[in-house]
Structure 1
Amino acid sequence: MNVFKIFKNINVHYAVLLLTPFSSLYCGDLFLDALQKTTPIGYVKTMYVHDDRAAPKLDQSTFGVGGKVGIESGDWYGLKVKVAYYITSDLGMRDSNPKKVDAYMFDVDKRPYSILGEASLEYKNNNSAFTAGRQEIDTPIVSTYDYRIIPNLFEAYTFTNKDISHVTITLSYITKMSGLDGLVSFKHFESMSAQTYTSLAMRDLQTIDANSGDTLDISKISGKHGVWMSGFVYEDKFKFQAWNYYCKDVMDEFYIDLAYPYEINSDLMATLEAQGYAVREVGKFKDFLHTLNINGSYELFGTKLSLESKNIGLSTSLAYNFFTGDAKTITAFGNWGGYPEYVAIPYMFAQDNSLSAIGKSKMGKINFKYDLQKMGLKNQTLIAGYAIIDLDEKIMPQSDIDVINFIYKAKSGKALTLKTQYELRESKNYRYTNDILTLSATYAF
């Protein structure tokens, strides 16, 4: 394999810059073997999103195509290099009115973009690994979360260790973020404090204005800071995980969950899950909020019970979540791409006199997942669910939401995945009355 030809084809000269120092250090058989084992990585993805929204909002119809192309080197004394380039395109089909374009397919200005999303050096030694540079991260609160074409990506220094049986320990300092859950930019890596997405909208730094203000860029208060992340995951007969995320002068978050499976008989498997997280504003951001007589401290709790029948191919689950907080609480729901809640909810707008729509909210969901292989349709799955989102009337009146969703997934081999998703939302608040159809095809290599 001619690795330099690959570099040229995917236009990532950064890979050459990363590899050249090592080639000068050692040109023996092991280094040449690592070069020969360099492999292409990535995916091609095409999507179509149609959002039929209630007036006065305009319907959105958006087509996008793109993906990821990159390389991963072979191992050389425990070292590996990974470089990947991400791209989106509308193929000239994007509507000229930005309000008719999906909010997450492209950049914040609704225009296609591309980005060098991964450029990392990894070192592995026995049960430990250290990765430095641009990378994908998958944890409950900080997550790559790829529900469109280009996902969230992070600049970080990440250490993992698995010396203890069934335990993974993670320590990381995450400096910057790009992607569809960022606040100030999707196509540029910005500080984690700048990318923190809260419900607080302000006209200026003294005036709260939920209807006409802009979502606050916290870095204007706190300065530009990264996130210290630490995690403990135990997985054997049951799974337990605990994570902490600390961003100086912004917030401190703690997440915990437990999943306990129980075999009823040879056919039926039950799983009981519980979760919770707490968010606390800290430092300069805390002082800023308290000056306005508001706060950023709240919790989420949840439980979920699942039952799976292997013979029938059917899984059923019941889930419940609720948020604490009050009328003076702002929230940072899913602020760095992590959406660990058992009952997923749409983005909730702060409006009128409210600071957040999710304070004291309750939500429940029943879900069914059926393996269509039982009907002779191999590698195909059908999912149907119904959720109720009960918002506190004193905080967000007349805005409860009923959600019905259907998902169809099909795989062809290990490479091609097809997905169709339809979601119908009903509410007395026009902001949450719409139905969304999403079609996607992904080919991974």
Structure 2
Amino acid sequence: MQANAQASGATVPTDAAAPAAAATPSAKGLRNAAAAAAVQDKAKASGDTHGQTTTPTVPEVQAEVKPPSVGANEASSLLEVFTKGHFSGDFRTIYFSSHNAFYSPGLNQDTISYGGKLGFTTASLHGFSAGVSGFIQRGINHSDNPSKVDGYLGPNLLAMGEAYLQYEGHGFKIVGGNQQLDVPFASTYDWRMAPQLFQGVSARYGDSNNFVQAFKMFRFKSYISNSFTRRTTYNSNFDSYSSVGNEETNGFWGVGAGHKWALSPVTVSAQGWFQTYQDYAKLTYVEAQVIRSDGLIKPFVGVQGFRETGDGRELTGNVNSEVFGGQFGIKRNSLTLSFGYNRIVPHSDSYLNGALVTPYAHNVSSGPLFAQPFLNSTQDLGAGNAYAIDLNGAPMGHWFIGARYSFMDLKSSATVASLNQSEYLLYAIYNFTGKLKGLSIANFVALQSSPAKPKKFIQNRLTIEYAFGG
């Protein structure tokens, strides 16, 4: 984990909510919504991941993905498996500038690195295909003082990433090997040079709205690692303040399902998951959302609940976590305004006063929680009440801009004062077209303050990316 942050005894940065695209029957609305959808992935490159599970999807733009059929886009011979395959990848330059980094007075960091990904995916033969990728990260004029270098952008990396075999057909997608994953609190989170990846087997039936999924992952590769290991983000190589040390586990497994119902004049969607982080915790998570399906103004509301108990050796200690959440808002064209709330029930005898244990999102992401900051994770701050107000949209083609305010009234133990952290976030993303198609620029700036901390923490994150072959 960020050695420089931990050396100063500070909170480590993570990232939160992703702008979500909206839709409207009007021509301008469709253009702007399409632009919003196009740049949504670019938000992830700078750290914004939240929203896809908490902001209801509008069906006019994000049409349901039909299950692939056997024979679609298949090679007719073993040779064509390779000759019809394709390369893809990206080149990124990422710059982080921090003032009073992680609330440490006078600790300023300016870190710039470059790198990216190169991958190859074969064509499909009888539904089977394979893919490989590699990642590189190199620093530019980094300080010799480790405390002045951001811990995510600091390490030089050269690593094999994905290496998988998959079958896709009849509505099924089965993947084995080193792969990307997208499940609650354990996702690829592709906003650094080298994304988080997982080694194991996953199987999914259905589309993005109506699905059943099961998976078992044995190993994990973090942002700052060159290899897959049986460790997690709680281990000391990622978080030097962790009490877990170098303890290894057998990974994690889970099952989940989701469904969407068109019940005019509203659309209802729901999902549920059960996941076991072996030797850490067992997590149950459910969420439901309702959104108006027609008209220019589309109000929506969502609810969620989490229940977590210990598993096996309980490496982080006793686990007894109960979390509830609510969200409401409106959509107009590409504009989305949302209000989110989470109640983390305090349990003084549990990890961080009753917070969720998330071995693959600790100091990385707040996952699907409705209320979350940008520079740290809700579940890493303790128990109590969390609030967030978010406004985002695509006012012009190829632009996506947003702002968020969050307030974390959370206590890491029953005997300490509340953090009462306020965070102000502004971000903008521009996606080029024409001869510059594939090029994007994203900038996020956030300010955090807390009466429990001596200074305000300010961080700016700038990403310039060129992506190809996607």
Asked whether the two chains share a fold, i.e. TM above 0.5, the reply is yes
- Structure 1 residues 97 and 67, CA gap change in structure 2 (3 angstroms): same
- Deviation of 1:271 (Å): 1.4
Partner of 1:244: 274
Tell me if structure 2 keeps the 8 A contact 1:255–1:278.
yes
Partner of 1:262: 292
- Structure 1 residues 31 and 215, CA gap change in structure 2 (3 angstroms): same
Matched, 1:390 2:420: no
State how 1:402-421 maps to structure 2 within 5 Å: 402-413=422-433, 415-421=438-444
Amino acid at match of 1:62: T
- Structure 1 residues 305 and 371, CA gap change in structure 2 (3 angstroms): same
| Cα shift readout 1:19-74 (whole Å, capped 9, x = no counterpart) | xxxxxxxxx95212222111002111111001111444611111011111010000
- Deviation of 1:395 (Å): 4.0
Return the match for 2:112 from 42, 51, 63: 63
In 1, the alpha carbon distance for the partners of 2:290 and 2:466 equals: 34
Partner of 2:344: 323
Matched, 1:336 2:360: yes
Tell me if structure 2 keeps the 8 A contact 1:198–1:332.
no
Work out the number of aligned pairs and report it.
Answer: 374
Tell me if structure 2 keeps the 8 A contact 1:269–1:307.
yes
Matched, 1:305 2:333: no
Amino acid at match of 2:271: Q
Determine helix, strand or coil for the equivalent of 2:147: helix
Partner of 2:49: none
In 2, the alpha carbon distance for the partners of 1:117 and 1:64 equals: 19
Tell me if structure 2 keeps the 8 A contact 1:218–1:285.
no
In 1, the alpha carbon distance for the partners of 2:287 and 2:134 equals: 34
| Cα shift readout 1:103-135 (whole Å, capped 9, x = no counterpart) | 222xxxx42112111000011231112111000
- Structure 1 residues 149 and 38, CA gap change in structure 2 (3 angstroms): same
Amino acid at match of 1:95: S
In 2, the alpha carbon distance for the partners of 1:127 and 1:248 equals: 30
Greater gyration radius:
1
Return the match for 1:43 from 90, 101, 109: 90
- Deviation of 1:229 (Å): 1.6
In 1, the alpha carbon distance for the partners of 2:368 and 2:254 equals: 16
Tell me if structure 1 keeps the 8 A contact 2:422–2:450.
yes
| Cα shift readout 1:365-406 (whole Å, capped 9, x = no counterpart) | 111113221xxxx21022011111112484431531111110
Partner of 1:229: 254
Amino acid at match of 2:336: S
Tell me if structure 2 keeps the 8 A contact 1:425–1:433.
yes
TM-score (norm: length of structure 2): 0.73
State how 1:1-20 maps to structure 2 within 5 Å: none
Tell me if structure 1 keeps the 8 A contact 2:344–2:385.
yes
| Cα shift readout 1:318-340 (whole Å, capped 9, x = no counterpart) | 11112123233214554313511
Matched, 1:140 2:184: yes
- Deviation of 1:269 (Å): 0.6
Tell me if structure 2 keeps the 8 A contact 1:357–1:396.
no
Structure 2 residue runs of 5 or longer lacking an equivalent are: 1-74, 263-267
Amino acid at match of 2:428: Y
- Deviation of 1:443 (Å): 1.7
Partner of 1:195: 232
- Structure 1 residues 156 and 301, CA gap change in structure 2 (3 angstroms): same
TM-score (norm: length of structure 1): 0.77
In 2, the alpha carbon distance for the partners of 1:42 and 1:444 equals: 6
Structure 1 residue runs of 5 or longer lacking an equivalent are: 1-27, 203-212, 290-294, 350-355
In 2, the alpha carbon distance for the partners of 1:243 and 1:341 equals: 14
- Structure 1 residues 247 and 388, CA gap change in structure 2 (3 angstroms): closer
Partner of 2:169: 125
Task: Give the root-mean-square deviation of aligned CA atoms.
Answer: 2.8
- Structure 1 residues 55 and 251, CA gap change in structure 2 (3 angstroms): closer
Determine helix, strand or coil for the equivalent of 1:32: helix
- Deviation of 1:236 (Å): 4.4
- Deviation of 1:235 (Å): 3.0
Return the match for 2:306 from 264, 277, 286: 277
Amino acid at match of 2:321: Y
In 1, the alpha carbon distance for the partners of 2:155 and 2:348 equals: 36
Amino acid at match of 2:195: P
Return the match for 1:370 from 375, 393, 396: 393
| Cα shift readout 1:187-213 (whole Å, capped 9, x = no counterpart) | 32111xx305289x99xxxxxxxxxx8
Residue identity over aligned pairs, in percent, reads 21
- Deviation of 1:421 (Å): 0.5
Q: Which has the higher contact order (CA 8 A, sep 6+)?
A: 2
In 2, the alpha carbon distance for the partners of 1:58 and 1:169 equals: 47
